[in-house]
Structure 1
Amino acid sequence: MAPLKSMEQEYPIIDAAFQKFCASHGIFSVEDLLMCDIDALMAFADKEPKSEKLKQGFTQILTIIDGLHQPWLNGLDLLEDAKWNKHVLSTGCKRMDELLQGGLRKGQLTELVGPSSSGKTQVCLQVASSVAKMQIGSVLYLDTGNSFSPRRIAQFVHKSSGSVLNYQADHIPLQKVMNSVLCHSVFDIFAMFDILHQLEINMKSQIHKADHQVQLLIVDSISSLITPILGGSGPQGHALMISAGFLLKKLAHEHNLAVLVTNHMVGGEGGITKPALGESWKSVPHVRLLLSRDHGSNICNVSVLKHSSIAFGREASFMIYD
């Protein structure tokens, strides 16, 4: 999200005096504000000579965040949008494509949840290789845990081609595929916001260059970025989580790209595990898939937890090779 200084021209209430007050409390951006106790800031503002103006500034920023909602669409708008824009991208796995009626749907956010070592990252890498190999655009891969493996993507590419891994023999096509996968290491949610906002700016400037645009955005994993900010009793962590979900869905919808995120599992009532990030996040993804794998097995099982046109519980199995 934006630094406060960059908002002054469009919103005069966020002037130098407001910025100075915020800076005295270590606040220089919208993210900084969301991470603070708003009630405490209001109490500090009450002690200032121009307290009402300061409060108006805070209200303005919160109103901007509150207004970040997609417009209402009628049924005809949604039907036309689905008909012309929301195509699918193959995951590179026949069984998963069959389950998902073709693959990952563009314009939607798909979440892959599962315990550690269930194969979430392997699926992300396979999907990245599949989309990059189609040469219809690029893949943006946000790696939050140093798990991105270019060699693994190369293996998936060669496996799908039915060839042995040979960098010399297949150098040119492999190079084209690898050039289509852009990886960023991201270790906190603010770095992710910066990358996503830059992506949005870039895509708006490349409207007529669809063949070069990002077709797939992967965040592996979204929960590792959000979980650290959810601690404490304040609402700011929750607000940042919802903002992250909104921005991902906004990018998917407005720029017709598929978004794939991963989420880990946590303990629930009675020792039953459940997806992390809670009930508020549960409503964010359009599609939610559960991935599982027995210890020591290469066989993965994926089942539908949420989908607009596929029954809950439908599942498929596939193999992740070494």
Structure 2
Amino acid sequence: MDWTQLDVPPRIISAVSKANIKSSRDVLTFSIGDLQKITQLSIGDIHQLQKAVSVSLQKHPVLTALQLFSEKSRFPSQHQKLSLGCDVLNNFLRGGLPLVGITELAGESSAGKTQIALQLCLSVQFPESYGGLGAGAVYICTEDAFPSKRLQQLIKAQHKLRTDAPTDIIRKIRFGDHVYIEHAADIDTLSDCITKKLPILLLRGQVRLIVIDSIAALFRCEFAAKDAAIKARHLQSIGAKLHQLSQDYTTPILCINQVTDAVKETDSILTYIGLQGKKVLPALGISWSNQLLMRLMVARTQREAPPPYTGCVLRTMEVIFAPHVPQGSCYYTVGLEGVKGIEEQSL
């Protein structure tokens, strides 16, 4: 903060500067006694300083949610999303993944979770004008080896999938050089990666997307049912760290999650009844659910996709909860070129 802008005597400004107080937050949160010790000012001077700081902060008007929504041109970052690389899926999710917050992608094996994550790792590297963020991605594997062969297939097929982007732009992007892979075999390694390695890449601007595949694997291995309280604390700690990174660097976080069968009838809001009528629950319970901004669930159906997707199996993506997207579902397929959404009227 520029202390010279405050309506206080120069001696108070000088004392604050010598005490190396950097922000108005320190002035308002430190006790009067602590401020006296640091600045050597009288109680009257401290009161005058705090009042001047409060007045200066009031000059910045508070914005309402309606203003942020209606005045989009003034707040572009509030409305920017990370494209999934497919117009149908982008329209379904109102633009794509939010840039701040944790998005969960849950579903059974073979539902297409990893395929969507890989596609996002490529999409994030496109310029902002084509739905990307102009940076790379970190892919943290906690169970299986990273699917490098599949990534190379998707890279080679980008010119077919991303028909919205000029060929020369696609050729200029060195996709394989900007996907950073990390393997975390236990919770301590994952926490160490989040707190030490990721901030370096984010600070340098090398990455703008974090993928964890999957968040459930480590917790299912390391904790038994009797360790629920300890498990919840670890989940809250990791969630808080991810939220801080997302907030500080305006970076979307995608966490892939597993599911578990619902063994009895329940009215819980976490229960997900897929289009196949099978009841499943996202793993990790309510402690993890409270960390999420948006929950998506994907499933593989028994139906074959219509032309021109003949030969591909229909899959579904459903919004379970999100602050900006209503609950709903969308069909998609996974082919050699990548993940493609299907319009309802095409079925």
Shorter-chain TM range is: 0.5 to 0.7
- Match of residue 85 from structure 1: 77
Q: Secondary structure of the equivalent of 1:285?
A: coil
Q: Identity over the aligned pairs, expressed in percent?
A: 24
Pairwise CA distance, 1:294: 2.1
Q: Secondary structure of the equivalent of 1:132?
A: coil
Pairwise CA distance, 1:147: 4.2
Is the Cα contact below 8 Å between 1:203 and 1:255 reproduced in 2?
A: no
When normalised by structure 1's length, the TM-score is 0.66
Pairwise CA distance, 1:213: 3.2
Alignment partners' CA distance in 2, 1:275 and 1:141: 21
Larger Rg: 2
Pairwise CA distance, 1:200: 5.1
Is the Cα contact below 8 Å between 1:114 and 1:275 reproduced in 2?
A: yes
For 1:262, which of 256, 264, 268 is the aligned residue? Answer: 256
Alignment partners' CA distance in 1, 2:154 and 2:85: 9
Alignment partners' CA distance in 2, 1:145 and 1:133: 28
Deviation digits for residues 118-141 of structure 1 (CA, Å, limit 9, x no counterpart) = 111111111112213447111000
Alignment partners' CA distance in 2, 1:110 and 1:229: 23
- Match of residue 202 from structure 1: 200
Alignment partners' CA distance in 2, 1:99 and 1:126: 16
- Match of residue 290 from structure 1: 297
For 1:320, which of 326, 331, 334 is the aligned residue? Answer: 334
Is the Cα contact below 8 Å between 2:121 and 2:136 reproduced in 1?
A: no
Q: Secondary structure of the equivalent of 1:309?
A: coil
- Are residues 1:303 and 2:303 paired? no
Q: Secondary structure of the equivalent of 1:311?
A: coil
- Match of residue 93 from structure 2: 100
* Alpha-carbon distance change, 298 to 174 in structure 1, aligned in 2, over 3 angstroms: farther
Alignment partners' CA distance in 2, 1:147 and 1:300: 24
Alignment partners' CA distance in 1, 2:145 and 2:117: 10
Within a 5 Å distance, the mapping from 1:99-248 to structure 2 comes to 99-134=92-127, 136-162=134-160, 173=171, 176-199=174-197, 201-202=199-200, 206=203, 209=204, 212-234=205-227, 235-248=229-242
- Residue segments in structure 1 that go unaligned for 5+ positions in a row: 1-73, 164-169
Q: Secondary structure of the equivalent of 2:298?
A: strand
Alignment partners' CA distance in 2, 1:258 and 1:75: 25
For 2:246, which of 249, 252, 256 is the aligned residue? Answer: 252
Is the Cα contact below 8 Å between 1:113 and 1:291 reproduced in 2?
A: yes
Alignment partners' CA distance in 2, 1:115 and 1:308: 24
Is the Cα contact below 8 Å between 1:217 and 1:258 reproduced in 2?
A: yes
CA RMSD, aligned part only? 2.8
Is the Cα contact below 8 Å between 1:132 and 1:178 reproduced in 2?
A: no
Q: Which has the higher contact order (CA 8 A, sep 6+)?
A: 1
Pairwise CA distance, 1:96: 1.6
Is the Cα contact below 8 Å between 1:110 and 1:288 reproduced in 2?
A: yes
Is the Cα contact below 8 Å between 1:121 and 1:220 reproduced in 2?
A: yes
Q: Secondary structure of the equivalent of 2:125?
A: helix
Pairwise CA distance, 1:93: 2.5
Deviation digits for residues 32-69 of structure 1 (CA, Å, limit 9, x no counterpart) = xxxxxxxxxxxxxxxxxxxxxxxxxxxxxxxxxxxxxx
Pairwise CA distance, 1:229: 3.5
Alignment partners' CA distance in 2, 1:201 and 1:290: 29
AA aligned opposite 2:146 = F
- Residue segments in structure 2 that go unaligned for 5+ positions in a row: 1-60, 128-132, 162-167, 266-277, 305-311, 337-347
- Match of residue 281 from structure 2: 274
Is the Cα contact below 8 Å between 1:154 and 1:174 reproduced in 2?
A: no
Is the Cα contact below 8 Å between 2:294 and 2:321 reproduced in 1?
A: yes
Pairwise CA distance, 1:244: 1.1
Alignment partners' CA distance in 2, 1:250 and 1:80: 22
